[in-house]
Structure formats: structure tokens, C-alpha cells
A and B are shown apart, each in its own frame.
Chain A
Amino acid sequence: MSKDECKQVVLDIIAEIAPDEELSDVKPEVALREQLDLDSMDFLDIVMELRKKHGIEVPESEYGQLVSLESCAEYLTPKFNALV
């Protein structure tokens, strides 16, 4: 999986959790919370959807890695590739 594909996976999850958010021009470098109306309940749901849909575990101490789309890709892509 490429980093771009990984970003898309995260965007797809956000689209499902927050269908009322405009996701077409999310800036990868900027914190998701600064661009979108996501609260801690939503972030927890992103973590739980990653586990449910893709079998990816994100331990609570590493939630901070999910701050932006870019950092998500950085952190999650190796996890996805390790699954195969």
C-alpha cells in the first residue's frame, strides 16, 4: 500500500463517521482537528474503525500519531504493509 492509498483509507473512514464534513480539500500537513469538526469521540471511532475494517491496532499511547493525514500515512502505511 502506498501512502496515498493509506490517506484514502483514513479519509474513507472519516467520511463514514462524519458524512456532513467537506473532505475534498483536506490539507495533509495540517491537523485534522483544525480543518474538520472532529472531537475525541470521533478520533476514538477512527481507531476503532481501523481495527474493525482493517485489523490495525493503534495503542492509546500512539493516538497522537493520527493528528494529520500526513502523519496518519507515515504511521499507518507500514502497519498495513506488515499485514500482507
Chain B
Amino acid sequence: MEKYDVAIIGAGMSGIAAGIRLAHFGKRVCVFERHYAPGGLNSFYAKDGRKYDVGLHAMTNFVKPGVKRAPLNRILRQLRISREDLNLSEQLGSRIAFPGRDLRFSNDFALLESEVAAAFPGEIDGFRKLVEDVNAFDDTEFNTPYQSARSVVQSRIGDPVLEDMIFCPLMYYGSSTEDDMDFGQFVVMFKSIFLEGFARPREGIRNIIKLLLKRYKEAGGIRRMNTGVAEIRLSGNRVERLVLDSGEEVEADIVLSSAGYPETLGMCSDTVESSTECSVGRLSFTETISIFENDPSSFGWGEDTIVFFNSRDRFAYRAAEGAVDLTSGVICIPNNFDYGEEGLPEGVVRVTCLADYDQWKSYSEDEYAANKERWRGRIWDAARAFMPDTTLDYSRDCKAFDMFTPTTVERYTWKRRGAIYGAPTKTKDGSTPISNLFVCGTDQGFLGIVGSMLSGIAMANTHALR
């Protein structure tokens, strides 16, 4: 039977990052991934000869090289990956679009500040105080008790529209809870989106995953694809061995799982009593990806990198009631990053909305295809209402299209109910009731691409390298 110092479940960003740390320091480590492609929730695929990204709109946490203590620069050091190899291009500028109100923001925080001052003159002092609260919060401490972010923001900001406009991007880019979030999570998200910013490698997520895999291999890590872990066999309070989908068994002193907290406990051979609430996330999404012949600047959409839109009086970030909630969403135009001379070969517009897993799951194969087609146009119209006037005729000009739903996410990532942000309760120290089993990734609580890598690094350092 093969025996490893550490077995990692899942070849997503957090699992590979953890693997790099462990292999680099001489551990015998193996990553087991059920899917044929690496990346987990941030993956990629090809369809009809065209390359698509899953998950990645933009990498958050962008800072210039050399900025002290910034998460992006910290993870690169920990992984011994050079900043140049990431080949990041900065966003052109993004926008929060509510009925009759826009707030633009970019990688220069001064823009958002001046937009708030112009649109909400009575609130700018409170907004600045909120930024002070964010900067004063110690986000490296794992054990801070839950505090409602809504209540903290409301203590500084009186206008509910501004409050909702601040929350909208933060919710969409990483909240597993409805309408509110832990203030600690709010701080991490606020910094990563507003105080730091957005960037993207020209080649998309592939570039990041390729770099991680190269480092992992160089460091001596082993990777087994198409190899799921079917069962975590326990002996008392310890993992005794892993049973793979093929029936093969392997041993490991420590198991680090990025499969999600409830998903991981569900693999265990005995029922595990957990003091952490072990519920599955309710929030799931659908995303449409529309391809056009020309760059979006040619049809009047050359300025917005990402638009967070909401059409209601109050923004609602909740499990969708119909198949898709069209009242809010995220529009991402990957062309609108500063790539210099060489842009992307085609125009791409992605629209993400909250969606109901149960609806999509209930459809027969034919109904599923018909509903994708039905919602495609509705989602496009909902998004277009928040975009500049355009010469585009969608049905004429869209030359290729793809769409994923909550069931697509579940099918390829084994995340229950396609809940990409995982369980509502996070396990920040990564511990489980099993003494040598730890979680990293989404349910540890750091989200996004930089967050997931930081999660893998932190959990490897804490539980397997000390």
C-alpha cells in the first residue's frame, strides 16, 4: 500500500498551494483529484476549439510589486513563484450600478472615495471612518468572534443605498451567507476588492494553474488525476487510510481536504459528530459566457471591466426564488484589462446571477437545455440595462455561447448543491473532529484565488509543517 506523509484531497488552488509547501520541505505528498482537469472551482475547459475559464472573473487582491504585507506578495513568496511569471494586467475600471446611481472604482482607491463623496456627500465622513475600521481590524487572527458586518457598516453609514452598494461586490465575490457576513470576512473582501484591486493574466486562469503545477512538480509533489477519494476510513479518532474510487487503498499520516467541510465529513466511514455547524451552502449561481467577433470597445463596452448591478430598492443576496434571480448580478468583460499591445482574440461578456439549485436539478435533460436557452436571453437583457448604449444586436452578433448552472458546478467539483462559496459556517483553523484530518480552501474561509492559495499555505504550515 502506498504511504504518504500527507494526502491532499482536491487539485484546486488551495490543495496545490498546500502541496507546494509540503513537497518543498521534503514531505512525501500526493494530491488526489477526481476530475481530469485541475483547478477545482477555478478551472478551465475547451469547447468547439475555444478556451473558457470557470470561476475567474478577475483576480482580486492586486497590488503593485513590493507592497508590504499584501496577501498577493506574501503567497508568491511562500510558493517561491515570481511575480513576473503571473503576468498580471490591471483592470481598466469597474462599477457598482444601482437604479439611477453609479459608483466607479479602480485599483486606485481614491476613485471610489471621490465617487462616494460626489454621489453621497452626507456620507463621506462615515465612509472614511469605515475605511479606518477596516484598516484597524486584525484579519490575521483566527479566533475573532462573529460580528455582523451590516451592524458595523450601519454604525458609520446612514443611507441604505450606499450600504447596499458597498456590500454588493463583497457579497458576490465571496459570501456564503445571505444578506450579511462576518465583519472579519467583510474586512478581507473590502481590502481585496476596494483597497487592493482587480487584475488578470492575459491567458486567464490557465496561467496560474500551470505555474502552480510546475512548482509542485519541481518540488517533488505527486499528483493523481481521475482519482477520487471514495472513503476516509477511520479508526477511532484518526484517519487510518483512504479508499480511492478504484478500490485501491492508500495510507497517510495527515489528510488535508479541500472538498468542503460537510463533503469531507460525508466521506468518513463512521458518522462524525461535529461541534461546527455542518450545513451545506444555499447560494449558487449561473453564468453565461457570450463570445463576439470584435473587441467590446467596438460596440461601446470598452470601459467597464466588471459591473455589479442591482435593480431593486434594496439589494437582496439570497438563494434565488426562481431558476435565476435577474434582479442583480455581475457582468465581466475579460477584454477590459490593460494588456498593452496584444488584446484578446475575441470579445467576451460573462454574466453571473444567483440561481436556484433545486430548480435546475429538477429538470429533465430536454428541459434543462430548453431552460438554458430561455434564460440566456433574459439574463442578457437584465445585464444590458446597466450597460452603455450599444450597437450590438445580441442574436445576430453572438457567435458562440456557453452557460453553467448550479448542477454544472456540482457535477465537476462535487460541491454539494453547487454552492461555490461553501458552507455558511467556516472552520478558520481548519480542524475537524478527526485528529489528523484538516480542511483547507472554501470552507476554511479564505475565498477567491489569492484567498484559496493562502488557505492551502496556512493550513499546510499550521498542521503539517510544524
Contacts and interface: CB of A to CB of B under 8 A. Distances in A.
Given A37-B68, A48-B25, A52-B25, A20 B73 contact: yes
A20 B65 contact: yes
Interface in B82-135: 82-83
A4 B35 CA distance: 51
Given A20-B65, A20-B83, A39-B69, A52 B26 contact: yes
Interface string B26-67: 100000000000000000000000000000000000000110
Given A19-B82, A42-B77, A45-B78, A37 B69 contact: yes
A48 B73 contact: no
B66 A20 contact: yes
A16 B25 contact: no
B461 A44 contact: yes
A52 B83 CA distance: 24
A19 B77 CA distance: 8
B78 A41 contact: yes
Contacts of B25: 48, 52
A17 B78 CA distance: 7
* Secondary structure type dominating chain A contacts: helix
User: How many residues of A sit at the interface, in one of the four size bands?
Assistant: 10 to 19
Interface string A6-43: 00000000001111100000000000000001010110
A31 B461 CA distance: 25
B465 interface: yes
* Secondary structure type dominating chain B contacts: loop
A48 B78 contact: no
B327 to A, nearest CB: 42
A42 B41 CA distance: 29
A79 B77 CA distance: 27
B399 interface: no
B69 A41 contact: no
Contacts of A41: 74, 77-78, 461
Contacts of A52: 24-26
Contacts of A44: 461
A12 B65 CA distance: 21
Contacts of B26: 52
Nearest to B65: A20
A20 B68 CA distance: 11
Contacts of A20: 65-66, 73, 83
Contacts of A37: 68-69
Contacts of A19: 82
A37 B461 CA distance: 20
A41 B25 CA distance: 14
Contacts of B82: 19
Contacts of A45: 77-78
Nearest to A38: B77
Nearest to B457: A41
B384 interface: no
B461 A17 contact: no
A44 B24 CA distance: 14
Interface string A48-69: 1000100000000000000000
Contacts of A16: 80
A44 B78 CA distance: 10
Contacts of B73: 20
A54 to B, nearest CB: 13
Nearest to B25: A48
Nearest to A45: B78
Interface string B236-254: 0000000000000000000
B446 to A, nearest CB: 14
A17 B465 contact: no
A52 B25 CA distance: 7
Contacts of B461: 41, 44
- In the complex, which of the residues A17, A37, A42 has the most CB atoms of chain B within 10 Å of its own CB atom? A37
Nearest to B26: A52
A18 B77 contact: yes
B86 to A, nearest CB: 13
Interface string B261-290: 000000000000000000000000000000
Report the 4 A-B pairs with minimum CB-CB distance, sorted nearest first. A37-B68, A48-B25, A20-B66, A18-B77
26 contacts: A16-B80, A17-B77, A17-B80, A18-B77, A19-B82, A20-B65, A20-B66, A20-B73, A20-B83, A37-B68, A37-B69, A39-B69, A39-B74, A41-B74, A41-B77, A41-B78, A41-B461, A42-B77, A44-B461, A45-B77, A45-B78, A48-B25, A48-B465, A52-B24, A52-B25, A52-B26
Interface of B: 24-26, 65-66, 68-69, 73-74, 77-78, 80, 82-83, 461, 465
Given A39-B69, A39-B74, A52-B24, 6 more contacts: A16-B80, A17-B80, A18-B77, A41-B77, A45-B77, A52-B26
